Amino acid sequence: MKASQLIAHGAPGRFELRDVPDPHPAAGEVVVQVQSCGLNHLDLWLEEAGLPIPVQLPRTPGGEIAGKILEVGSNVSTWNIGDRVAIQSNLFCGECEFCRRGEDSICLRGEILGVQRDGGFAEKVVVPARALVRLPDGVDFDTSAALTLAGSTAMHMLTNRTQVKPGDWVLAIGASSGVGSAAIQIAKQLGARVISTGSTEAKRSLARHLGADFVVDSTDKKWPAEVRKITEKHGVDIIVEHVGGEVLQMCFDCLARDGTIVTCGATAGREVSLNLWPLFVKQQRLIGSYGRNREDLEKTLAWAAAGKLKPVIDSIFPLDQTPAAFAKLRARHVLGKVLVEPFEPESESD
Ligand SMILES: [Zn+2]
């Protein structure tokens, strides 16, 4: 089969479209024909050796996979050839203390698909059957590949790590990002008043289109003051943050008393300094969020099927242009998700 493999780290790294042996399922595994795979910042970190995880090259990146089951290993009883599936990218053991209570996002033996084992920028991928989630009718492969990683991350942040109440002020950082675009829609559905940020007029316009009530210009360093003004000095109750660095620090400038920042990323910096005085005086919370549980992924796809959550797709590349997809995301000129389709979407109607 064909796979777009990273063979040398860098920014950009070196990719090769290679013929590699077809994967075969071990007991408890399935082989999925990849119809669509979303690109994420995680893939860029892998490309430039920016992950605090040892990675062996060559590696086929890509964790946000939707496709059809091609082959089923022994001990797999609930899945059949031809089933349409999404794959949970944070692979989990299903047995540790956290998995047993449904918290597979913090599995003790968790692995990231496309980082610690070969992922979806290939015609086929082999994964444990427990990582599969059935695609609801009416959710196509591209929609799934555009929502299952970042969208379910936002779902985990807003319905598991925090709970949004109707009337809450929610700030979703980065309207054009996968997490930001989903967070705006999820928070609105939950009855929140939503503010988002965007660095260009196109991104701010997207935020309004997705339902944000207010949008601020993130290139203006005074945006936290603008947020305080919008909320009539109350500040925001929940902030969905995934940028880190200075942005995380600025979030505290517009966080309400008893407010919560939930963060799942640090593309702009992993180390920040924090003034603890206002944190405890205002009884605020800074909460980490990592990946998603199966429940979050199922909810994300159910919401997509119900039309409550729409993917924002910037562009779609064929498999042989995977390096161009990486370059596009790296240049940050994207409005929504970048996808790679190893197969033409004609097989959707099967
Ligand atoms: Zn586990």
Give the Å distance between the CA of 77 and the centre of ligand 1.
21
Give the Å distance between the CA of 290 and the centre of ligand 1.
14
Give the Å distance between the CA of 99 and the centre of ligand 1.
4
Give the Å distance between the CA of 88 and the centre of ligand 1.
13
Give the Å distance between the CA of 96 and the centre of ligand 1.
4
Give, rounded to a whole angstrom, the gap between the first and last alpha carbons of the chain.
21
Give the Å distance between the CA of 132 and the centre of ligand 1.
15
In the 8-state DSSP scheme, what is residue 22? P
Q: Which residues of the chain carry a pLDDT beneath 50?
A: 347-350
Peptide bond into 12 cis (omega under 30): yes
Q: Give the long-range contacts of residues 278-286, CB within 8 A, separation 24 or more.
A: 278/252, 279/252, 282/255, 282/256, 282/257, 282/258, 283/257, 283/258, 284/252, 284/255, 284/257, 284/258, 284/259, 284/260, 285/259, 285/260, 285/261, 286/260, 286/261
**Which amino acid appears at position 13 of this protein?**
G
Protein residues with C-beta less than 5 angstroms from the ion ligand 1: 92-93, 96, 99, 107
- Token pair recorded at residue 217: 């210009």
Report the pLDDT value the prediction gives residue 129, as an integer from 0 to 100: 98
Give the Å distance between the CA of 28 and the centre of ligand 1.
15
Digit-coded pLDDT (tens) for 52-109:
888 999 999 999 999 999 999 999 999 999 999 999 999 999 999 999 999 999 999 9
Peptide bond into 58 cis (omega under 30): yes
